[in-house]
Amino acid sequence: MPKQGYHHGNLRQALVDAALSLIEEKGPTGFTLSEAARAAGVTPAAVYRHFEGREDLIIECALQGHAMFADLMAHAWQEGQPSALASFEATGRAYLAFARRFRGHYTAMFESGLNRNATPELARAYARSREVLDRAAASLSERIPEGRRPPAAMVTAHIWAMSHGVVELFARGEPGSNAPYPPEDLLEAGIGIYLRGLGLIAKDE
């Protein structure tokens, strides 16, 4: 690809797109800014017009990922319709779908070692990402007597950890990661067991 220097049409986004591809291929620490610049078709010096370093570039990838993720989760939640339980399960499926479809973003968001408070923008983006799960957990928890009700943030953390574990172990399609059941079924069953333990699903459901 010929170098286009500072006349590149949308250099910032081109570098983000290049970084996302490199993250998918090599991981968040497996590429250099020079490689990102080469993939975007510009000189390495041009990168510094937009990003201070590789971490700054990865932060932008994560910011864009969180924005898409929050929108997808909100769409899946549908404000708890047709029921809080059905919508909660839909957010789990949406989580897996996002991790598959936007692997570079997902890795930048959750597997790059970024401090979630690295920048105020990243902190806000992360908070918006989990806001839907917090609201979903709070809605479900209202059905538990107050004295036995766990904090909604704890329920969110448990479900998030379960979802991330299914992604890591079974949802990537990597060699050796063959799941005994479809990842969606594994996650739905795990969420069901967890919610039964909280008394939110009858044992015979």
Residues 70 and 30 in one domain: no
Whether the per-residue pLDDT at 167 is higher than 80: the answer is yes
The pLDDT of residue 95 is 92
Across 29-46, average pLDDT:
88
Residue 5: pLDDT band (50, 70, 90) is very low
Q: How many structural domains compose the chain?
A: 2
Residues 91 and 190 in one domain: yes
Q: 61-85, pLDDT tens digit by residue?
A: 999 999 999 999 999 988 888 887 7
The pLDDT of residue 7 is 47
Residues 83 and 147 in one domain: yes
Across 137-149, average pLDDT:
81
In one-letter notation, the amino acid at residue 79 is E
Quote the domain boundaries for residue 26: 1-51
Residues 25 and 7 in one domain: yes
The pLDDT of residue 2 is 41
Q: Is residue 204 part of a domain?
A: no
Residues 36 and 110 in one domain: no
Residues 32 and 109 in one domain: no
Across 47-55, average pLDDT:
87
